[in-house]
Amino acid sequence: MDAELQAAIEKAFDFRGDVTILTRDGRRIEGYVFDRRPGESVRLLPKDGGGRKLTVAYADIADLQFTGRDTAAGKSWEAWVKKHRERKAAGETGIALEPESLE
């Protein structure tokens, strides 16, 4: 297996958005990678799959692209605390300890 593809698959597993897998036979599969078996296969929830799970062998992957938005980007605890402190310093009152929407 190509080391570059292996690294991309590991990043896709940590990514919280959709990726697009292009297979050697020309298929284009867009979805969320929720599991991988290093050197074997990657499992994903296809974007248009109605909740079904799909397994793609590493050997069948020609390319992998990060095409979706990482829904948790900028949503770290540190970012939330910083924003909370800024609002408090600006004199805002009644600041609730509630999570922000992911959308």
The total of structural domains in the chain comes to 1
In a domain, 102, yes or no: no
pLDDT above 80 for 22 = yes
The whole-angstrom separation of Cα 69 and Cα 103 is 10
Residue 73 has pLDDT above 80, yes or no: no
Residue 9 falls inside a structural domain:
yes
The more confident residue out of 1 and 81 is: 81
Residue 51, in any domain of the structure = yes
Give a yes or no: residue 52 inside a domain.
yes
pLDDT of 69 higher than 70: yes
* 8 or 73, higher pLDDT: 8
Residue 103 domain flag: no
Contacts of 42 by beta carbon, 8 Å cutoff, 6+ apart: 9, 12, 13, 21, 33, 35, 36, 55, 56, 58, 61
For 80, the token pair is 């939330």
19 occurs within a structural domain: yes
pLDDT digits (tens, 9 = 90+) for 35-67: 999 889 999 999 887 779 999 999 999 999 999
32, 44 Cβ separation under 8 angstroms: yes
- What CATH number corresponds to the domain at position 65? 2.30.30.100
Is residue 100 situated within a structural domain? no
Domain that residue 23 falls in? 1-95
58 within some domain: yes
The residues, ordered by sequence, that sit 6+ positions from 8 with a Cβ below 8 Å of its Cβ are: 64
